[in-house]
Structure 1
Amino acid sequence: MDIKIDSRYPSIDDLRNKARKKIPKFAFEYLDGGCNEDVNLIRNTSELREVQLKPNYLKNHKGSSTKTTLFGIDYDAPFGIAPVGLQGLIWPNSPEILAKAAFEHNIPFILSTVTTTNIERAAELTEGKAWFQLYHPTEDSLRDDIINRAANAECPVLVILCDVPSFGFRPRDIRNGLAMPPKMNLSNILQAFGRPHWSLQTLKHGIPNFANLLPYMPKNLDLNQLGKFMDQTFSGRLNEEKIKPIRDMWKGKLVLKGVASHYDAEQAIRLGLDGIIVSNHGGRQLDAGESTIKPLTSIVKKYGDQIEVMMDSGIRSGVDVARALASGAKFTFMGRSFMYGVSALASKGGNHTISLLKTELQQVMEQVCCEKVSDFPNHLI
């Protein structure tokens, strides 16, 4: 499709600044923050941006293409939309906006278990092309039911999450009442009144809820009971015993997200997974951990010929996508960047953000004379 961007917002930083003005403080801080002191949140992007690329200006260049193939599927760009929880709290109807935009631009959209639209709706909007990310349930019957729903919706890829054995300690969310159980305090209510566009859209689309989990929730569940329900329903810690039955049951591609060590990469290969996403949950889980670019390079070097290695966390621009690809990632994902876009520009935000990232990536490819996405490692300094 034609690439068009709003000239008022020619960078992700511009979208972030606009988003801050459009949505309540509690929603912006939930989106924007990391954990503890935000050390790893900052490190993710700063260390990624130390990666440098080598141009070959006098090379006989035939043109560049951002198209790439992953798991046998052709995509128009080597990046996709990462799963984000409670998207409708950040901007009403945002998962549907982003799913539609991803489909129109032919890039993958990953739906989170704990976001605000369900598997069936995402599949409808993407004609069965949406990926699904599973938070591991405590009960096998619930796990099997959710996986069957994803299979019936024809999701090509199931993503399982390994980096949430505990809730991240996020001081902003605790102050704002967005810990479990969540609560709307007077400050949050006043913030909502100060963002009339957000409030009107929330009224239009309804109070956000965990849409995927509604079939399993007790009726008339109040906020004070929600935390207990989530604790009883999900167990974030994965191990071999939990992964094996999922691998046996799921016939599509299976990806492990949250890999940050050689040990976890080796286990993924041994258990027959098809891909891994090197990630630290956007710096929202372990403040003392490495930035994602650090383990990516060594994991790719040792295991890149055995499993598809992808990356998220810290990527904020098309140039950052180029840096990650040059460092060996086969594909990349972003969460915050797309949520800034939809928060800033509502229904136009998904298309704008994807177009912006494509434009930035194309410019880098032309500049360094990189014809194919797979050639990026040849330009790494």
Structure 2
Amino acid sequence: MKTISDIEDLRRIAARRVPRMFYDFVDSGSWTEQTYQLNQTSFKEILLRQRVGRSIDGRSLKSKMLGVDVSMPVAIAPIGLAGMVHADGEILAAKAAVAAGVRYTLSTLSIASLEDIQRATDAPFWFQLYVMRDKQFLLSLIDRAKAAGCDALILTLDLSVLGNRFKDAKNGLSTPPKLTISSLSNMLTKPKWCMGMLRTHRRNLGNIIGHAKGVGDVHSLSGWIGQQLNPALSWKDIEWIKARWGGKLVVKGLLDAEDAQTAVLAGADAIIVSNHGGRQLDGAPASVAVLPEIVDKVGRATEVWIDGGIRSGQDVLKAIALGARGALIGRAHLWGLGAYGEEGVKLALELIRKELDLTMAFCGHTDINSVDRSVLMERTIPRTDYCVA
């Protein structure tokens, strides 16, 4: 393995090893990709306040997310089709998360199934749920998540319609993928990826095929998926979903303080400030840009987490300083997965851990739970007065 200094090193290696169709699925946003880029640049605009002359011995990153002890306030975000970035990708990432002492989140649209993760890790994990039109399938999915030992359900609210993702359309990425001569030729230039895919039997959506009515194989999957986006999804759905689930419920996809308040009233145990990685509404603000206002509105009533644009431990520290109780990484762990499989995800998490610890030390703190806005240069903290009251 080459010397890896940061997440960007992993991204460059993944770009060489993962077929273009699936690499672009990860490293892209919707429309002009303005929001996707803002997620990263907005973190860079926030400056840290260096402190000296303080003892920084005995530092600790240990924290809690939803009452669960974690080695640092970081979790792996749910990403669909992760098992196409690397064979058995979700299983490998879940194992890496367990080894690192953080939580893994499985997507509804994963290649490995809930049961696959349960068998492979024998440890609790979180499950992300899309509210589909097929209510019977939805109910069975919730019950399967319970049976698999998931101890939190993450409900995504910002995918009632699909964002216009140009790269996916150009590459023929659909469910199932539309393979062309160009895409097949590109896959053949990635021999390690091809060998991995030949060795595994997991190449389709494991949570859906064989579980949804009338979906017994990949040929029947496409029509079913196309009918499942649910534009009728509303806050009322949270009530019956939480009642059926009966456990901790996290609501994901919030960028508005008023929506955050509604989520709390609906019974959310935590909320995730997220713009879907810039893959839905292009022109929306960066997640970190609206984080302070949402924390000010609901941070005392519920846990506030964030995803979108986190590429380093410094980004995590900035999010925690702005009031987030946890940060979820999506692309950062997928680049590690695409580069080196399970070891790559472990490496991505370790890079973030070391950066977080070192940056916290430079800012004069020894306990991640004591970090607040005082570690940031005040003039660079995102404004909270531009949103509609």
Instruction: Measure how far apart 1:235 and its partner are.
Output: 2.0
Instruction: Measure how far apart 1:167 and its partner are.
Output: 1.1
2:207 paired with 1:202: no
- Counterpart CA distance in 1 for 2:231 and 2:150 is 22
- Counterpart CA distance in 2 for 1:10 and 1:75 is 24
Identity of aligned residues (%): 31
Q: Match for 1:72 among 57, 67, 73? A: 67
Q: Match for 2:329 among 334, 338, 341? A: 334
Q: Match for 1:380 among 346, 362, 376? A: 376
Instruction: Measure how far apart 1:207 and its partner are.
Output: 5.6
RMSD: 1.6
Counterpart of 1:178 in structure 2 is 173
Instruction: Measure how far apart 1:55 and its partner are.
Output: 2.4
Counterpart of 1:96 in structure 2 is 91
Counterpart of 1:20 in structure 2 is 15
Partner of 1:213: helix, strand, or coil? coil
What are the Cα deviations for residues 23-72 of structure 1, in whole angstroms up to 9, with x where unaligned? Answer: 11111111101111111110111011111222221123343211101221
What are the Cα deviations for residues 255-312 of structure 1, in whole angstroms up to 9, with x where unaligned? Answer: 0000110121011111111000000010000111011011111000121001100000
Counterpart of 1:30 in structure 2 is 25
Counterpart of 2:247 in structure 1 is 252
What are the Cα deviations for residues 197-236 of structure 1, in whole angstroms up to 9, with x where unaligned? Answer: 111111111361100112225355455x533201334426
- Counterpart CA distance in 2 for 1:254 and 1:96 is 23
CA change 1:86–1:106 in 2 (3 A) is same
2:220 paired with 1:216: no
- Counterpart CA distance in 1 for 2:319 and 2:24 is 26
CA change 1:85–1:60 in 2 (3 A) is same
Counterpart of 2:358 in structure 1 is 363
- Counterpart CA distance in 2 for 1:217 and 1:364 is 51
Counterpart of 1:60 in structure 2 is 55
- After superposition, residues 102-251 of structure 1 pair within 5 angstroms as 102-179=97-174, 182-206=177-201, 208-214=203-209, 215-216=211-212, 218=214, 221-223=217-219, 225-235=220-230, 238-251=233-246
Counterpart of 1:315 in structure 2 is 310
- Aligned residue identity for 2:154: V
- Aligned residue identity for 2:376: L
Counterpart of 2:340 in structure 1 is 345
CA change 1:241–1:153 in 2 (3 A) is same
- Counterpart CA distance in 2 for 1:133 and 1:285 is 17
Partner of 2:36: helix, strand, or coil? helix
What are the Cα deviations for residues 83-106 of structure 1, in whole angstroms up to 9, with x where unaligned? Answer: 000111121111111000101111
- Counterpart CA distance in 1 for 2:272 and 2:175 is 27
Instruction: Measure how far apart 1:7 and its partner are.
Output: 5.8
- Aligned residue identity for 1:40: T
CA contact 1:76–1:107 (8 Å) conserved in 2: yes
Q: Match for 1:87 among 57, 76, 82? A: 82
CA contact 1:162–1:237 (8 Å) conserved in 2: no
Partner of 1:309: helix, strand, or coil? strand
Partner of 2:139: helix, strand, or coil? helix
Counterpart of 1:40 in structure 2 is 35
CA contact 1:66–1:362 (8 Å) conserved in 2: yes
Structure 1: gaps of 5 or more residues: 1-5
Partner of 2:173: helix, strand, or coil? coil
CA change 1:175–1:347 in 2 (3 A) is same
2:262 paired with 1:267: yes
> Which of 334-343 and 61-70 deviates more?
61-70
- Counterpart CA distance in 2 for 1:269 and 1:113 is 23
What are the Cα deviations for residues 134-166 of structure 1, in whole angstroms up to 9, with x where unaligned? Answer: 011213322211111111122111000011111
CA change 1:38–1:219 in 2 (3 A) is closer
- Aligned residue identity for 1:353: A
Q: How many residues align?
A: 375
- Aligned residue identity for 1:268: A
TM-score normalized by the length of structure 1? 0.94
CA contact 2:77–2:329 (8 Å) conserved in 1: yes
CA change 1:166–1:59 in 2 (3 A) is same
CA contact 2:176–2:218 (8 Å) conserved in 1: no
TM-score normalized by the length of structure 2? 0.92
CA contact 2:215–2:224 (8 Å) conserved in 1: no
- Aligned residue identity for 2:60: S
Counterpart of 1:3 in structure 2 is none
Partner of 2:305: helix, strand, or coil? strand
Structure 2: gaps of 5 or more residues: 378-389
- Aligned residue identity for 2:181: L
CA contact 2:137–2:213 (8 Å) conserved in 1: no
